[in-house]
């Protein structure tokens, strides 16, 4: 368990007192379906308190009281927070005790804020949209310069043709 805590930078502690076994299975299924790097397990408080020593999860040490479950995400805390929040809305027996996200303690009141953040894939899509729009603007600007140059060269050609056409009959 200590190795798992050392390798995880996002951990949510939950109380599940009074949660029926069928609902616990449903929560585990939802977490499995949400992503490969997500885990959920029920822990023995004393062992967990020993396991968190010297890990980024140590600020949660005092929260291991009563019936405790640990939800772990190695990469994406937002997806796990959403799954847990959505499940706890339908099942009030599941309650947040606290969390550590990116090495910082998060009290239960702020976990909702994490769940409302866009996930990494959504952020990447937004960033790519911004980069793409900027690149498109550059292409349009360069294209506009080339187009204007071609138009200007065409006008110069037409003016020279007019001048040559006007001077040719009088010179002959």
CA 138-139-145 angle, 5° bins? 90
Check residue 20 and give its pLDDT. 93
Check residue 6 and give its pLDDT. 86
74 — phi, psi (to 5°)?
-80, -35
Please give the chain's pLDDT, 172 residues, in tens: 888 888 888 999 999 999 999 999 999 999 999 887 889 999 999 999 999 998 888 888 999 999 999 999 888 888 899 999 999 999 999 999 999 998 888 988 888 888 887 777 777 787 888 888 887 888 888 888 888 888 888 999 999 888 887 765 555 4
Check residue 76 and give its pLDDT. 81
* Domain boundaries along the sequence of the chain: 2-117, 118-172
Q: Are strands 95-101 and 68-73 parallel, antiparallel or unpaired?
A: unpaired
Whole-angstrom distance, CA of residue 159 vs CA of residue 153: 10
Instruction: Tell me how far the alpha carbon of residue 68 is from its chain's centroid.
Output: 27
- Least Cα distance to 85 among 116, 42, 118 occurs for 116
Check residue 16 and give its pLDDT. 93
Fold exhibited by the domain 2-117:
Alpha-Beta Plaits (3.30.70)
Whole-angstrom distance, CA of residue 125 vs CA of residue 136: 16
């Amino acid at each position: 368990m200590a190795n798992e805590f050392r390798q995880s930078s996002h951990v949510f502690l939950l109380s599940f007192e009074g949660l029926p076994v069928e609902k616990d299975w449903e929560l585990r299924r939802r977490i499995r379906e949400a992503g490969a790097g997500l885990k959920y397990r029920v822990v023995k408080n004393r062992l967990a308190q020993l396991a968190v020593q010297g890990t980024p999860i140590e600020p949660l040490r005092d929260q291991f009281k009563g019936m405790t479950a640990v939800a772990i995400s190695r990469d994406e805390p937002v997806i796990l927070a959403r799954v847990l929040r959505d499940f706890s809305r339908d099942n009030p027996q599941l309650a947040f005790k606290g969390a550590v996200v990116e090495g910082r303690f998060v009290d239960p009141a702020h976990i909702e804020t994490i769940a409302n953040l866009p996930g990494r894939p959504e952020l990447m899509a937004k960033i790519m949209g911004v980069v793409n729009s900027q690149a498109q603007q550059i292409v349009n600007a360069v294209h506009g310069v080339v187009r204007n140059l071609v138009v200007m060269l065409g006008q110069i050609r037409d003016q020279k043709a007019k001048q040559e056409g006007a001077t040719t009959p009088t010179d002959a």
